[in-house]
Structure formats: structure tokens, C-alpha cells
């Protein structure tokens, strides 16, 4: 298992990431997560669409909540060819409650809690916490990584504008 120490911190404390991060231009690794109904969802289920994937440690924290709400709001401004996905280690039941409370309707919200399939495939599983590091990825319709921002400090926001611009670019608008 590949380990990377110090690429991310939590309040300045270095953490260890598990798994291998794909580079921009490489094929996106397959993954399997659970949706709010406990149904397995795979990357291949979104075949043929560009994807913006918002990754958060836990939806029940202020920055993660704001990140998820921001991408939900931005979804209507993106071309229909872009599928927005949110991934966290939260249990599907907690995700369902969060989405109902905050009106999250435009994102496919997925839980990686069972196998950490996504976290390990994308090098985002935090060893010390068994949470995912904050990141944003954009994949084109052929599932090639076109944008990958790993946020260095878990308590900070990603670059929303860069991610949204990358999503528009891969959607051809």
C-alpha cells in the first residue's frame, strides 16, 4: 500500500494518505461506493458524461457543508453533460439526512465508508482518521483525469472557480 506523508495537514498536523493518486491525463481508477439507498454505485455508472467529483472528510463539518452546498448551487449553471458527485466517508443514512436538511438535489452523494474503494483508488484515504482528504477532481467523458486539486489543509476550501472552469472545459462549453 502506497503511503504519502505530509501532503495534507489538519490544523497544521501532517497526515498520511493511503493509495495511489492518478495524475492529470491518466485514466481515472474504478471505484465502488454506496448511495443513500445503500445501492452500489460505480464510476462506470456515469459512463459517457463528464464528472466533477467533490471529496470531503465529513459532511457534518462547516467547510464540507459549504463545499457541498456550493457545488449543488453551481450545478444548475453547468452544462447537462456534467455529472456532479460528492464523496465522503459518512454513512449513507447521515448523507441522506444531510441532503434533506440542506436541499442537496443536484449531486450524486456517495459513501465510501464500506471499503474505502474511492479513497484508496485516488490516494485520498487518511490513515490516521479513516476519512477522505479534501479534493476536487474533474474527469472527462472518457474517464480521463483532467483536473485534480488536493487541498493541503483539511480545514481550507478548494479552488471552486478552477474546478468549475475545468468541468466546463471538458463538457465543451
Catalytic residue annotation: 64
Residue 38 to residue 50: CA distance in whole angstroms: 24
In whole angstroms, what is the distance from residue 21 CA to residue 3 CA?
10
Three-class DSSP category at 45: helix
Give the separation between CA 53 and CA 76, rounded to whole angstroms: 15
127 near 103, Cβ under 8 Å? no
Instruction: Tell how strand 50-55 and strand 135-139 pair up.
Output: antiparallel
Residue 22 phi/psi, 5° resolution? Answer: -75, 150
Instruction: Please check whether residue 40 is in contact with residue 47, taking contact to mean a CB–CB distance below 8 angstroms.
Output: no
Amino acid at each position: 500500500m502506497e503511503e504519502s506523508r505530509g501532503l495534507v495537514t489538519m490544523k497544521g498536523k501532517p497526515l498520511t494518505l493511503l493509495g495511489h493518486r492518478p495524475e492529470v491525463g491518466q485514466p481515472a481508477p474504478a471505484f465502488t461506493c454506496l448511495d443513500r439507498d445503500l445501492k452500489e454505485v460505480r464510476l462506470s455508472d456515469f459512463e459517457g458524461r463528464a464528472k466533477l467529483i467533490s471529496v470531503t472528510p465529513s459532511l457534518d463539518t462547516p467547510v464540507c457543508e459549504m463545499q457541498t452546498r456550493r457545488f449543488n448551487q453551481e450545478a444548475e449553471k453547468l452544462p447537462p453533460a456534467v455529472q456532479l458527485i460528492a464523496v465522503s466517508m459518512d454513512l449513507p443514512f447521515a448523507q441522506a439526512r444531510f441532503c434533506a436538511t440542506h436541499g442537496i438535489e443536484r449531486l450524486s452523494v456517495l459513501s465510501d465508508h464500506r471499503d474505502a474503494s474511492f479513497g484508496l483508488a485516488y490516494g485520498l484515504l487518511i490513515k490516521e482518521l479513516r476519512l477522505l482528504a479534501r479534493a476536487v477532481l474533474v474527469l472527462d467523458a472518457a474517464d480521463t483525469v483532467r483536473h485534480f486539486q488536493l487541498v493541503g489543509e483539511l480545514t481550507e476550501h478548494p479552488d471552486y472557480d478552477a474546478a468549475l472552469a475545468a468541468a466546463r472545459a471538458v463538457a465543451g462549453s
